[in-house]
């Protein structure tokens, strides 16, 4: 697996004054800690994303081809970064596809992207006691990742926890292999949203068209 981590320390002066004020408050709070909790959260998310990739590849690889799982993992690209322009932490996974990204596959490829998004999310949240997806469940998970227990994160205000949910986005990219892209002139399909997003509300982007 190609892994690239970006740990970014940014001055709060870089932020514009008219966008995502709640999320910016969260970022400011995270970065003012003795240990940069923004970096801590990125490290923890990256570790969890790695575990999710193992499970996703196993699920989508036939047992008869189990010996190829290691090879497929090398083809997966993963990153967790802070995007200061969007005021968002973006956890991204990019999976190579050798078919299914053509114009006639618009609906099926979008649904597949959402399905993988849902699988990755499920794996990230699997340790949470709540069984059903909710904003509260996601907030509890993210607080665990961005705040050490010694900081008493359970005392964080509810509106702050909700802003933390909006701050972290999951992105899944289904990209054509080089051979597929050159032979069929196809483009990647991607989908993204926060971890509390309902599956049907996850935005899918296919050839620059959002649905």
Under 8 Å between Cβ of 51 and 129:
no
Q: What percent of the chain has pLDDT over 70?
A: 78
Mark out the alpha helices in 65-134 (DSSP H runs). Answer: 69-75, 106-125
Where on the phi/psi map is residue 141: left (φ > 0), alpha (ψ -120 to 50), or beta? alpha
* pTM recorded for the entire structure: 0.78
Give pLDDT tens digits for 15-48: 344 446 788 888 777 777 666 888 999 999 999 9
Question: Domain limits of the chain?
Answer: 2-210
Q: If DSSP codes are grouped into helix, strand and coil, which group holds residue 78?
A: strand
Question: Per DSSP, what are the bridge partners of residue 170?
Answer: 91, 193
Render pLDDT for 61-89 as a digit per residue (tens, 0 to 9).
Answer: 545 444 444 456 667 889 999 998 999 99
SS (H, E, C) 40-72: HHHHHHHHHHHHHHHHHHHHHCCHHHHHHHHHH
């Amino acid at each position: 697996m190609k892994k690239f981590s970006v740990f970014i320390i940014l001055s709060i002066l870089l932020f514009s004054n008219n966008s995502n004020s709640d999320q910016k408050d969260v970022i400011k709070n995270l970065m003012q800690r003795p240990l940069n909790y923004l970096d801590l959260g990125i490290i923890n998310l990256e570790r969890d994303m790695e575990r999710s990739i193992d499970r996703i590849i196993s699920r989508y690889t036939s047992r008869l081809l189990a010996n190829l799982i290691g090879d497929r993992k090398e083809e997966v690209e993963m990153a967790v970064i802070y995007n200061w322009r969007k005021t968002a932490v973006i956890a991204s996974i990019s999976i190579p596809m050798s078919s299914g990204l053509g114009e006639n596959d618009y609906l099926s490829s979008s649904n597949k992207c959402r399905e993988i998004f849902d699988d990755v999310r499920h794996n990230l949240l699997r340790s949470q006691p709540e069984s059903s997806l909710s904003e509260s469940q996601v907030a509890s998970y993210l607080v665990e990742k961005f705040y050490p227990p010694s900081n008493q994160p359970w005392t964080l205000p509810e509106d702050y926890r909700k802003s933390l949910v909006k701050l972290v986005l999951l992105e899944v990219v289904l990209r054509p292999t080089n051979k597929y892209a050159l032979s069929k002139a196809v483009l990647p399909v991607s989908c993204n949203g926060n971890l509390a997003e309902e599956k049907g509300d996850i935005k899918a982007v296919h050839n620059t068209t959002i649905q």
